[in-house]
Amino acid sequence: MKINKTLILLFLFTKLFPIQAQVNQILTEISPLSILSKNGKGSVYLKVSKSSDYILTLDKSSNSDFVFKIYDISNKKYITDKIKSKDFKIRLDQNSLYAIIYVGSKNENIKFSLTDLDFSILSGDFLKAKTSKIEKEDSFFTLKDLPVLNLTSKLKKYVLRIYKSNIYIAYQLENSDDIKVAEFIEDVGWFNLDSSVNGNIINIVNFDFSINSKGNLYIAFVTKSGSDFASELVVKKFNSRKWIDISPGYIENFGSLLNMSIDLKDRLYLAYLREIEGEYKINLISNMGYGNIWTDVIHSYLSKGNSNVNSSNIGLISEPFLGIFYNYKSNNEIKSEFIVNKENAWVNANIPSVYMANFIKGFFDSNFNQIIMSFVSENRPIVSICPLKSNRWINISPNVKMEGSSIDIGLYKNNLFLAFEDNNDVRLIYFKNKNWYFLNKLEHFKGNVTSPQIGIYGNQGLVVSTLSSNSNELFFTLVCR
């Protein structure tokens, strides 16, 4: 009898109340949506970027009755009857805007997600997406192992950067505050530059590493605050013999996240967090690449919520315009936003929000005049492109679920490469002609490794770095054609 009452409520609700979903409550195929249904009834928008068959999945915080219908707002009609199942297969049109109208229990947490079946395999009788149909083609790349970087203890973090044919690794070992930079020169091998970047500075919580077009090296890092002292934001430049300090000299409480980017004029940009009224907000400053003079870019952007979340980094691009991709916490939910500089003002770039983006990377593809953005969200690699002429984000993500945490992307000969962790292995795939392919038909690029990173090795090819399972060796593979 209880479910009948729920169906009656759904009927009355859809007849008597207009569809008034929140503008930010939009479910897409790359952006799951989590809500708190306070009064037990409501609606959320639904929009997809391509016409396809999808699986709509609902996860609830209780086992109470829950029913919903889907309404085509564009064509002003319902496209489903009352639905009670957790997983539901449905055909959706990219030109339509839909609303999911639901009735359930009060104060219930509900998570909606979509899976595109064009890139999935159905398993038995369950409407659950498995590994995507990554193709295998008869196009082969040459693979060459480069010398291994042996470490004295377990690695905590590393950043791969390449200048022409020189490979640089900035790294920090576990149980050590020292940030070191190792350089690989062809026919010479690996060696450390100087002793450590940070010198006597301790309690380092995060760092980033960049190289400009002249080969100048930059390291930025933040320290942890204490009861008697504030955290520090430090920037250092390598002058061919030692690390010199070009820090802004700010005395504030800084969050743990930061990112550096360098534009075509070698101007250095630094995105970081600073505390404002008890919350950490996004800030962006710039430097000419030398000296201690730093300036605010446009104006400080106040993020929508506390941005000091448990994410790996902030995303920052400096070409062809300034853009920041970050996470923030609001109303006990973690969301994301991508903002760009438009006519000296920060505006939202309209990329769909996701839950907790990790390993964020964005860059400008000048060959096709587009922005490429990648990150990990809920154990899935997300890749989106935005052609500048259309100003519209296109999801090209492979529909795979990772058994790992890190990814990286890179461009080589107009092919987009994606490396990602999967169950203590690293997979390497590339995007070509609207399909993803395994490199050399290899479903596992390298075994018993983690933490892949990608860099362009001059004109010779692509370098993929990976960390050994015992975390004290870094491997490097040159991919070329």
Q: How far from each other are the two terminal CA atoms of the chain, in whole angstroms?
A: 67
- Region 27-47: what's the mean pLDDT? 84
Q: What is the pLDDT of residues 196-216, one digit of tens each?
A: 999 989 999 999 999 999 999
SS3 (DSSP) at 4: helix
pLDDT digits (tens, 9 = 90+) for 353-373: 788 899 999 999 998 899 999
Answer whether residue 233 shows pLDDT above 80: yes
356: left (phi over 0), alpha (psi -120 to 50) or beta: left
* CB-count exposure of residue 188 (10 Å: 0-12, 13-18, 19+): exposed
CB neighbour list of residue 30: distance below 8 Å, 6 or more residues apart: 49, 352, 354, 382, 384, 395, 397
Average pLDDT in the 19-46 region? 76
Rg (CA), the chain: 24
**pTM beyond cutoff 0.95:** no
- pLDDT of residue 166 exceeding 60: yes
Say whether pLDDT at 224 is over 80: yes
Q: State the chain's mean pLDDT as an integer.
A: 86
pLDDT of residue 226: 78
Average confidence (pLDDT) over 422-444: 92
What pLDDT score does 161 carry?
A: 98
Confidence label for 160 from pLDDT (cuts 50, 70 and 90): very high
Q: 156 pLDDT exceeds 70?
A: yes
Question: Which of 78-92, 110-124, 204-218, 346-360 has the lowest average pLDDT?
Answer: 110-124
Phi and psi torsions of 241, nearest 5°: -125, -35
| Whether 352 contacts 375, CB under 8 Å | no
Instruction: Please report the pLDDT score of residue 458 as a whole number.
Output: 82
- Domains (range + CATH), the chain: 2-129 (2.60.120.380), 142-480 (2.120.10.80)
- The tokens describing 352, both together, are 């769909």
pLDDT at 250 > cutoff 60: yes
Helix (H, G, I), strand (E, B) or coil at 109: strand
Residues in the chain: 481
191 CB neighbour count, 10 Å cutoff: 9
- Tokens for 439, please give them: 């490199």
Q: Spell out a b/e string for 213-228, using b for 16 or more CB atoms within 10 Å of the CB, else e.
A: eeebbbbbbbbebeee
For the record, the structure tokens of 216 come out as 């100048």
**How do residues 255-284 score in pLDDT, each as one tens digit?**
999 999 999 999 999 999 988 888 899 899
Can you tell me whether residue 363 is helix, strand or coil? Answer: strand
Percent of the chain with pLDDT over 90: 50
Comparing 197 with 135, the larger pLDDT belongs to: 197
Residue-wise DSSP of 342-356:
SSSSEEE--PPP-SS
Q: Which residue has the higher pLDDT, 9 or 468?
A: 468
Grouping H, G, I as helix, E, B as strand and the rest as coil, residue 7 is helix
Is residue 127's pLDDT more than 50?
A: no
What SS3 class is residue 161? Answer: strand
